[in-house]
Amino acid sequence: MRRLAGVVVSALLFGFGATAQDRGPKGDRARDSFEVLADLVETYGVSGYEAPVRDKVRTYLPGWTRPKVDDKGNLLVTFGSGPEHLVFVAHLDEIGYVVAAIRDDGTLVVERRGGYFDRYFEARPVLVHSGRGPISGIISPR
């Protein structure tokens, strides 16, 4: 899902935000686009906790944009004038889990965020984001 957000950012950054002179040779533009997309894909943002991705997207927007965040957490960027508007819609979030409780034995009770099958993640490593930093874990098989 974050990949689509990266496409929108790349369109703004490399398609609208810079002149041909700013972009340099074609190879540089492709490398730069890949680096932007890689940076976005590597930024975590489980549904309901997309702020890190949203903040990262904002850093890549051209200086002439005036991004705003609405009360739902959506990042809005408008430009141009007149009655016609072009709209880009992209997800900033990704599938994942949110910790609902920590049991006495240290295992976690989690709630699924997004549409997917839990069985695909059984016995797989996970990264739990906590106030004290990331913690490695594994999803117990049923």
100: nearest Cα among 110, 87, 92, 90: 110
Residue 79 structure tokens: 């430009």
Label residue 78 by pLDDT band (50, 70, 90).
confident
pLDDT (tens digit per residue) in 22-46: 444 455 777 788 999 999 999 999 9
Q: Tell me what pLDDT residue 7 has.
A: 39
This prediction has a pTM of 0.70
